[in-house]
Homo-oligomer: A and B are copies of this chain.
Amino acid sequence: VSQAAWKTLLGRTPLRHDIEAQLRAHMQWRAVLPGEAVFSHLEPARELVILAQGDAALGRKQADGSFHTERSVHGPAWLDASSAWLEGAHLQDAVALSPCQVVGVPSSALQAVLLDHPALAPQLLASQGQQVHTLIEVIHDLMHKDAEGRFAAWLLQRCSSGGSDASGDDADAATVTLHERKRDIAAQLAITPETLSRLLRQLKRKGLIDVLGYTVRVLDVPRLRALAAV
């Protein structure tokens, strides 16, 4: 876990080197291959789980063995930063989508580090707070936006966070490449793959985007933003 990764995990303030050194001693690394489970909602959560590298999906394993993605995560990011504090089980299942490096930090160890370095507490609280904000945003979208609005919002977010392609800053025409299967994107948006397919066609017909396989060119940001607005 590099300094840059910690910055992503904890927010803007960097992690002090002495704290990082002490944390490093407790971290438990493991590699997870695509398709394998990172953790299950059945096992008790004793450690905070960080996705150092790779892509993973959070969701619930269905009774029939299939997996229903609720949120997809691109490392470095937290996979589960909250369950371990509750002395309960994980709330979701997590599976790797690509080869992943996963780090576990036992909450007991973290508690010890917190005793030595109280400055770490606000950073952890901030990163958890960031997660709360993200989740509330998701809830807001699910409650008030239709499928088109949710997809527009999803596209814009992809567009802005690292999605932009070449030269032209953000004038127009950003290119978004879909790394995941379209059915997984659909699952995140709580729609069926069929509906997503139709949405892509609709937006293309309206001239808002251009679609070519797994590459989407965003042509008209303002109108897309209007669709994404409540």
Contact residues of A with B, CB < 8 Å? 11, 60, 68, 70, 81-86, 88, 91-92, 107, 111, 114-115, 118-119, 121-122, 124-126, 128-133, 135-140, 142-144, 190, 230
Contact = CB atoms under 8 A, between A and B. Distances in A.
Contact of A129 (B83, B126, B143): B83
A30 to B, nearest CB: 23
26 contacts: A60-B230, A70-B136, A70-B143, A82-B125, A83-B129, A84-B129, A85-B122, A85-B125, A85-B129, A86-B129, A86-B130, A88-B133, A91-B133, A92-B136, A111-B121, A114-B121, A115-B118, A115-B119, A118-B121, A121-B121, A131-B132, A135-B135, A135-B136, A135-B139, A142-B142, A143-B190
B128 A86 contact: no
A214 to B, nearest CB: 24
Q: Which of A70, A114, A121, A144 has the most CB of B within 10 A?
A: A121
B115 A70 contact: no
B132 A82 contact: yes
Chain A: interface secondary structure? Answer: helix
Contacts of A136: 70, 91-92, 135
A135 B70 CA distance: 13
A91 B137 contact: yes
Contacts of A82: 125, 128-130, 132-133
Given A68-B144, A114-B122, A133 B85 contact: no
Contacts of A88: 133
Given A111-B121, A128-B132, A132-B132, 6 more contacts: A60-B140, A70-B139, A82-B132, A85-B125, A107-B122, A118-B121
Contacts of A60: 140, 230
Nearest to A13: B87
Contacts of A85: 122, 125-126, 128-129
Nearest to A117: B118
Contacts of A144: 68, 190
A99 to B, nearest CB: 26
A4 B68 CA distance: 39
